[in-house]
């Protein structure tokens, strides 16, 4: 009953004929007016407020069309946002991968440099030891290259 009264309050009256014995009064604005209207004109007055003339056919069709268009537009907007988000994530992932490759290349280059420097240090140390031994006469004559007639096997001759 409360729902009917609320509908009654929210709906405007139909066009009224002045000659009708049960002519409807203007739409009531408060509960007291609703109760007074029901008491004076009977409960049938609510029927007149609730059952009005039907809406034209084009109105629900337009609303349905707008609903379909709104749904499709929502899907398209969502897909576009999803595509943008995926493109940004792909770009970010690609950049991370390139940075990782750069770090690996740098580490690999560092390892090669370190190994080359270590080998060079060992070779210089061996050369310095030979020079030291030669300078103090610690190398025997047969160990000296070029003087004994034998060629150095490391030089390929």
The predicted model gives 141-149 an average pLDDT of 54
Q: Is the pLDDT of residue 65 over 70?
A: yes
Distances (CA, A) of 151 to 123, 127, 134, 144: 20, 18, 17, 10
The residue among 54 and 70 whose pLDDT is bigger is 70
Q: How far apart are CA 143 and CA 141, in angstroms?
A: 5
- Long-range CB contacts (within 8 A, 24+) of 146-155: none
Q: Is the pLDDT of residue 151 over 60?
A: no
Closest CA to 5 of 31, 40, 36: 31
The predicted model gives 105-111 an average pLDDT of 86
Q: Are 44 and 21 in contact (CB under 8 A)?
A: no
Entry pTM: 0.37
> Using 50, 70 and 90 to split pLDDT, how confident is the model at 80?
very high
Q: How far apart are CA 20 and CA 131, in angstroms?
A: 134
- Long-range CB contacts (within 8 A, 24+) of 42-48: 46/4, 46/5, 46/8, 48/13, 48/14, 48/24
The residue among 50 and 105 whose pLDDT is bigger is 105
Sort residue 5 into left (φ over 0), alpha (ψ -120 to 50) or beta. alpha
Average pLDDT, the chain: 76
The predicted model gives 86-93 an average pLDDT of 96
């Amino acid at each position: 009953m409360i729902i009917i009264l609320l509908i009654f309050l929210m709906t405007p009256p139909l066009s009224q004929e002045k000659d009708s014995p049960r002519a409807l009064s203007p739409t009531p604005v408060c509960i007291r007016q609703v109760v007074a209207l029901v008491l004076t004109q009977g409960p049938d007055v609510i029927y007149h407020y609730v059952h009005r003339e039907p809406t034209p056919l084009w109105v629900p069709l337009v609303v349905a069309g707008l609903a379909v268009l709104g749904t499709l537009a929502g899907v398209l907007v969502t897909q576009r946002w999803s595509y943008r988000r995926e493109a940004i994530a792909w770009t970010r992932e690609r950049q991370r991968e390139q940075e990782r490759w750069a770090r690996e290349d740098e580490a690999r280059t560092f390892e090669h440099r370190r190994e080359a420097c270590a080998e060079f240090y060992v070779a210089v140390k061996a050369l310095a030891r030979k020079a030291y031994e030669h300078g103090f006469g610690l190398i025997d004559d047969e160990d000296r290259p070029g003087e004994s007639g034998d060629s150095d096997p490391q030089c390929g001759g």
